[in-house]
């Protein structure tokens, strides 16, 4: 369940640490990625995704 503000990753850091980003999305929740300082995407676990689809 998404319950807090997602940490924000710069795209370059997210790319370089993708495995860590994916692990954190499962263990700690949503992870936001910004591109050139602009909000880009949010990575969430499959469980969170399924919960959101059920709403």
List, for residues 29-45, the tens digit of each pLDDT value: 999 999 999 999 999 99
* High-pLDDT (> 70) share of the chain, %: 93
- Check whether 3 has a pLDDT greater than 60: no
**Rounded distance, CA 10 to CA 1, Å?**
23
**Rounded distance, CA 50 to CA 16, Å?**
27
Could you count the other beta carbons within 10 Å of the beta carbon of residue 26? 14
User: What backbone phi and psi angles, to 5 degrees, belong to 36?
Assistant: 50, 40
**Rounded distance, CA 23 to CA 55, Å?**
24
Going through the chain in order, the beta strands assigned E by DSSP cover 8-10, 31-35, 38-43
List, for residues 7-26, the tens digit of each pLDDT value: 999 999 999 999 999 999 99
For residue 6, the model assigns a pLDDT of 83
For residue 4, the model assigns a pLDDT of 66
| pTM, rounded to two decimals | 0.83
> What domains sit in the chain, N to C, each tagged with a CATH number?
8-53 (3.40.1620.10)
């Amino acid at each position: 369940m998404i319950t807090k503000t997602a940490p924000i990753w710069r795209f370059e850091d997210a790319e370089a640490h993708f495995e860590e980003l994916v692990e954190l999305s499962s263990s700690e929740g949503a992870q936001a990625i910004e591109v050139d300082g602009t909000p880009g995407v949010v990575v969430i676990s499959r469980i969170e995704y399924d919960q959101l689809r059920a709403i």
